Chain A
Amino acid sequence: MNSPVGHVRALIAAEQIDGRDPATAEGFLRCLCAAAVRAVPASGAALNVLVGDGSFGLWIDGGAGSKVITELQVTLGEGPSVDAHATRRPVFEPSLGDSGVTRWPVFAAGAMDLGVRAVFAFPLQVGAARLGVLELHRTAPGSLTDDQLRVALTFAQVGVSRLLGSTEDLDGSGTDGFEAANADQAVLHQAQGMAMVQLGVSLGEASLRLRAHAYATGRRLTEVARDLVERRIINLDGEGAQSPDEDLDEDLA
């Protein structure tokens, strides 16, 4: 498996240990954080998932007390993850002790007390659907190299895919709509918008339902999307309503 995404999935699968089962959503995301720490590399990672009311809910800790640093931001209302979520763009601070202090005076002090000198926050999103943030920490200041950024962005991409219900084989051998070709991507995003209106649900939920429909009918996600956009399926409502990924819902309950 040579694709960057396949490679990252393999790294995530390799993090499986007792108590951290990548078959569940939470387990997968914990393995993701652990793998990201090793691969980027970083000293710590945390991934937070938005819950229904738009606040950060489920916290995944990649070790080394990373969760504390992201939780600090919720308490303070400031920090790189807060900004990444609000502005819908990555927020990189390679020098927490210098420019970081100007950007987030209280957070920077708190994070530095915990030994962190650089923070890189990646919003987990598909267009207007915001799902959470992946945050990487380092104990030494400095930017990520281009290669390291590519790896980190791929981890974020895989995180998004999992949060949108992908139960992709861990060796990446199946097909996943989010790794589809360019042409299919645009149609997939259009279908998300259409399904959102048809079903009267959030964009994230609409994406899950599209995937559920594909799963239930044994078809590829991109085919279902194209059928919807080209009006061969008129309405998803009432078709294949059960999400295959119930354990994520339970984790968030």
Chain B
Amino acid sequence: MPTISPDRLAQVFVEIADTLVEDFDLFEFFNLVTSRTAELADVAAVGLLLVDHHGHLQFMAASTEEARLLELFQVQTEEGPCQDAFHSGTPTVNADLTTADDRWPEFAPRAVAAGYRSVHAIPLRLRTNVIGALNLFGADTGRLDPTDVKIIQGLADVATIALLQERTIQRVEALTEQLQSALNSRVVIEQAKGVVAQLHNVDVTEAFELLRSYARSNRLRLLDVAQAVVTAPATFPDLVPG
């Protein structure tokens, strides 16, 4: 029985279409995709990873940036649902992490210890390229309904197109240029987290929330705020906790 509500899905697609405008904010977009996927699929958390020039998956964004969750994305360098989805180009669905130790000896026990019981990964595809994955974590055991898997694949495909900001890729170079830019942008965000953590004596997770709130309140792109915070930290007196 599919979980995803058609009405809610229609609303999400409209939301996504609305973000594909001139002031496109890549990281807010990733946040939208991961948050909405989590809500539609009724799972605890969703993360988005992109591939680098070595073929390694790198964390880009998640529905929640808790440290223990981020580690679960980062531990999947050699094995895990994202590796499987990335290499096969097809969804990886796992209903019960407690029986997955043989399949993923490093990843499965850590995911269970973090409180998750099911995991799924949907590849981010552009024609013959797989450029990353959406990683879903559930607090309960249970498969994703096949119809839901198709819908989430559709969302993932839309996210991929948005990343490349072109309906058709005119130039072969566009994909690499865009991926490299996105990967470097994530680094800027990590550096900005460090700057804010140091300036305001908070941990890096709270630093991220401060950056996001500031960007939203001032209608700025998260990346632009991060960039400016790292370049000129003293010019953000309003960026304070509380």
Contacts and interface: CB of A to CB of B under 8 A. Distances in A.
A197 interface: yes
B113 to A, nearest CB: 15
A193 B192 contact: yes
Contacts of B58: 182, 185
Interface string B184-207: 110111111111111100001000
A105 B75 CA distance: 48
B213 interface: no
Contacts of A195: 194
Contacts of B192: 128, 193
Interface residues of A, number: 37
Contacts of A229: 194, 197, 204
Contact of B187 (A87, A127, A183): A127
Nearest to A192: B191
Contacts of B177: 89-92
Contact of A92 (B57, B73, B176, B190): B176
B54 A150 contact: yes
B145 interface: no
A149 interface: yes
Interface in B188-242: 188-199, 204, 226-227, 230-231, 233
A185 B71 CA distance: 12
B187 A193 contact: no
Contacts, number: 119
A194 B53 contact: no
Contact of B180 (A89, A126, A154, A203): A89
Nearest to B55: A150
Size bracket of the B interface: 35 or more
Contact of A182 (B59, B197, B199, B230): B59
Interface string B157-184: 0000000000000011100111011001
B197 A183 contact: no
Interface string A169-204: 000000000000111011001111111111000010
Contacts of A87: 181
B53 A149 contact: yes
B180 A90 contact: yes
Contacts of B3: none
A215 B198 CA distance: 23
Nearest to A182: B74
A151 B53 CA distance: 8
Contact of B204 (A94, A182, A190): A190
B88 interface: no
Contacts of B54: 4, 150, 154
A87 B191 CA distance: 18
A125 interface: yes
B126 interface: no
B147 interface: no
A127 B190 contact: yes
B130 interface: no
Contact of B173 (A143, A189, A196): A143
B187 A88 contact: no
B230 A127 contact: yes
13 contacts: A88-B184, A89-B181, A127-B191, A143-B173, A150-B54, A153-B180, A154-B53, A189-B190, A190-B194, A193-B194, A193-B197, A196-B230, A196-B233
Interface of A: 4, 87-92, 94, 123, 125-129, 143, 149-150, 153-154, 157, 181-183, 185-186, 189-198, 203, 229
Given A89-B177, A149-B176, 9 more contacts: A126-B187, A128-B227, A128-B230, A129-B191, A143-B172, A143-B173, A186-B70, A197-B198, A229-B197
